[in-house]
Every structure is written in structure tokens, then in C-alpha cells.
């Protein structure tokens, strides 16, 4: 059985911001003089794995990086090729944003091979730009535009989290609830999880700026520095979100504690009022002789009046002591 390469897309960049798709035969016959080739593969496909291992011509280290199941954002140079592992916010329907989608790239001046398992919206945006003739012209521009799309979506996610937390902080002052505690806890978890991926991604951007590859021009590195600075602002915003959510949790806990104390205080006052009443009714309820008023028809009413006066006296005393 023949195992064939089945790319998600195979494009030949025209150097003007556009690209045309290539067939499997054209991919096999491609040479650098034709232009920059971009192969985007699903690494879980058996044919793609076989092609990478047997026919791609990549070093074993690069193949292992492209097929790795678990990756951490990083950048490394292997000869004249650049290995990149990046992550993007998961904006697929029904997915959690902190469930980051990874993409792996092996890039040289004339060939780009990228692999993924799940769909990444930033790649879809790049394809749309190429169809309009507004995409990257070469490998260096593809790196810049891809990272720009990734950071843009990261910023949108951080802004959404900030808006959600702002709404919760307003509701916190009005009507705190148990659902609000769960929402704040969830926001804090998301901010911590996102920062765990954002920080090493910025380290990868900084590493890119220090690499010396002839096709990574000064303008490219300056653009990557700007993207890195934007990502740093998002990381700082996530740190602020984490602190704000922690303060909101503390405030909710304080409000809950205050409400509990108020309820316990009311119960204590009620207990203080009914304690002497219970003592008297228990004392007069014992089944022995000599109970006062046992032979008096008005004794029960007199006893009720005495209890009422005692309750009124306790209320007066508590008000004087400012317990009520």
C-alpha cells in the first residue's frame, strides 16, 4: 500500500503577497528556484509522518520537533533552518481559551514546513490574506505575520477576561453570590493558565531576535521586537487580572464571613432572650408538688405577662448596651 503525503495545504508563495496551491506531484518536483514553498501538515496523519521521516530531507532533530505530541514555546537554530514551537489561543467553537493550540514550524529561506493537530485560526487568517494577495512574501514575513496574528488573538482573549472581571467587580458591590465566587475563581484559573504559555512564548520571540540567520533581516527582528513588546503588555495585564481576581475572591470571602457573623449574632441574641424564658418554663413544668399558682385560675395569664415583661426588659437592656 502506497502511503502518500496529504497536506492541509501546499502553497508556493509568489513573492508579491499571494500564493498558488500545489499538487502532490508539484510538491515532489519543487526546487528552491521556483519560490518559497509552504507545507502545512496534520502530524497525526500516517502519510504525513512517513513523508517527514523518509522524504522531507530534514534532520532527525527537526523531524522529531515537528512530530512532537507535547511542545513548549521555543525557538532554536538548526544549521540554516529555524525550529519554532508556538501556541495560540483556542478559539474553536466550544473550546476553552486557555486550552492553547500548538503549531510547530521548520523554516528555511525557501521552504516552510508547519505541523499541527487542531485547527489554528491564525493560520486560517494567513491563508485568507494570501488568497487576497496581502499575505507574506517570504519566510521571514510569514514568521512575523503568524506571530502577529497569534499575539493579536491573545490580546483579544485578555481583553475579554478583563471585561468579564470588571463586570463581576461591579456585581460584587451590588449582589454577591455563590455563582460569582465560582466565576471569579474560574477567571483567576484562566489568567494563570494563559500566562503559563504567554511567558515562554515571549522568550521564544526574544530568542528569534538574537539568532543570526541571513534571511532574518534587521527589519524582521525589529518587527518581532514590537510583537514581543505587545505580548509583554498582555502578560502584565494577565498579572494584573490575577491580582484583581485574588482581591475579588478575598472581598467575596470577607462578605460571606460578615454575613455569617451577622446571622450568628442574630441567633445569639435570640438565644440570650429565650434562655431565661426556657429556664422558667422548665422550672415550672416539673411534676412535683408546691408549684406556685397551681390552684389559681389566673396564674397562667400572670405567668405570660411576667414573661412578656422579661422579654421587654431584655430588649431594653440590649438596646442600652447597643447590642441591637
Mean pLDDT of 101-123: 89
pLDDT of residue 198: 85
Q: What percent of the chain has pLDDT over 70?
A: 93
The C-alpha atoms of residue 136 and residue 130 are separated, in whole angstroms, by 7
Residues 19 and 11: beta-carbon distance below 8 Å: yes
- Which of 85-99, 149-163, 231-245 has the lowest average pLDDT? 85-99
**Is beta strand 111-116 parallel, antiparallel or unpaired with respect to 101-107?**
antiparallel
Query: pLDDT at residue 96 above 70?
Result: no
pLDDT, position 1: 42
- pTM of the full structure: 0.76
Q: What digits encode the pLDDT tens for the residues 162-208?
A: 888 888 887 776 666 667 778 888 888 888 888 888 888 888 888 88
Question: What are 236-259's pLDDT values in tens digits?
Answer: 999 999 888 888 888 887 877 888
pLDDT in tens, 44-86: 888 889 888 888 888 888 889 899 888 888 888 888 889 988 8
Please tell me the predicted confidence (pLDDT) of residue 114.
Answer: 93
Q: What is the pLDDT of residues 250-299, one digit of tens each?
A: 888 787 788 888 888 888 888 888 888 888 888 777 777 677 776 777 77
Q: b/e for 233-255, b at 16 or more Cβ within 10 A?
A: ebbebbeebbebbeebbeebeee
Cα separation, 110 vs 9, whole angstroms: 16
Residue 94 confidence (pLDDT) above 60: no
Helix axes 60-67, 46-54, angle to 10 degrees: 160
Full 3-state SS string of the chain? CCCCCCCCEEEEECCCCCEEECCHHHHHCCCHHHCEEEEEEECCCHHHHHHHHHCCCCCHHHHHHHHCCCCCCEEEEECCEEEEEEEECCCCCCCCCCCCEEEEEEECCCEEEEEECCCCHHHHHHHHHHHHCCCCCCHHHHHHHHHHHHHHHHHHHHHHHHHHHHHHHHHHHHCCCHHHHHHHHHHHHHHHHHHHHHHHHHHHHHHHHHCCCCCCCHHHHHHHHHHHHHHHHHHHHHHHHHHHHHHHHHHHHHHHHHHHHHHHHHHHHHHHHHHHHHHHHHHHCCCCCCCCCCCCCCHHHHHHHHHHHHHHHHHHHHHHCCCC
- Domains along the chain? 9-255 (3.30.460.20)
Q: What is the CA radius of gyration of the chain?
A: 35
pLDDT at residue 24, rounded to an integer: 82
Amino acid at each position: 500500500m502506497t502511503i502518500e503525503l496529504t497536506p492541509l495545504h501546499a502553497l508556493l508563495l509568489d513573492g508579491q503577497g499571494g500564493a498558488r496551491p500545489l499538487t502532490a506531484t508539484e510538491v515532489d518536483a519543487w526546487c528552491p528556484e521556483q519560490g518559497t514553498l509552504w507545507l502545512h501538515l496534520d502530524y497525526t496523519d500516517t502519510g504525513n509522518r512517513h513523508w517527514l521521516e523518509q522524504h522531507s530531507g530534514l534532520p532527525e532533530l527537526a523531524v522529531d520537533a515537528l512530530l512532537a505530541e507535547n511542545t513548549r514555546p521555543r525557538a532554536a537554530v538548526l544549521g540554516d533552518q529555524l525550529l519554532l514551537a508556538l501556541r495560540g489561543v483556542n478559539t474553536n467553537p466550544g473550546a476553552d481559551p486557555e486550552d492553547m493550540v500548538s503549531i510547530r514550524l521548520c523554516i528555511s529561506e525557501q521552504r516552510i514546513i508547519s505541523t499541527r493537530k487542531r485547527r489554528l485560526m491564525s493560520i486560517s487568517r494567513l491563508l485568507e490574506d494570501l488568497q487576497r494577495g496581502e499575505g507574506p512574501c517570504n519566510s521571514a514575513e510569514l514568521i512575523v505575520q503568524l506571530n502577529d496574528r497569534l499575539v493579536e488573538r491573545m490580546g483579544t482573549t485578555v481583553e475579554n477576561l478583563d471585561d468579564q472581571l470588571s463586570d463581576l467587580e461591579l456585581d460584587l458591590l451590588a449582589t454577591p453570590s455563590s455563582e460569582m465566587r465560582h466565576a471569579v475563581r474560574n477567571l483567576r484559573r484562566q489568567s494563570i493558565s494563559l500566562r503559563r504559555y504567554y511567558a515562554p512564548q515571549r522568550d521564544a520571540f526574544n530568542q528569534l531576535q538574537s539568532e543570526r540567520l541571513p534571511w532574518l533581516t534587521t527589519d524582521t527582528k525589529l518587527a518581532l521586537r514590537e510583537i514581543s513588546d505587545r505580548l509583554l503588555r498582555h502578560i502584565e495585564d494577565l498579572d494584573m487580572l490575577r491580582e484583581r481576581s485574588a482581591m475579588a475572591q478575598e472581598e467575596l470571602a470577607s462578605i460571606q464571613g460578615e454575613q455569617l457573623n451577622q446571622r450568628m449574632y442574630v441567633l445569639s441574641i435570640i438565644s440570650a432572650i429565650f434562655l431565661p424564658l426556657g429556664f422558667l418554663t422548665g422550672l415550672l413544668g416539673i411534676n412535683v408538688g408546691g408549684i406556685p399558682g397551681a390552684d389559681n385560675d389566673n396564674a397562667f395569664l400572670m405567668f405570660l405577662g411576667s414573661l412578656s415583661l422579661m422579654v421587654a426588659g431584655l430588649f431594653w437592656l440590649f438596646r442600652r448596651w447597643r447590642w441591637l
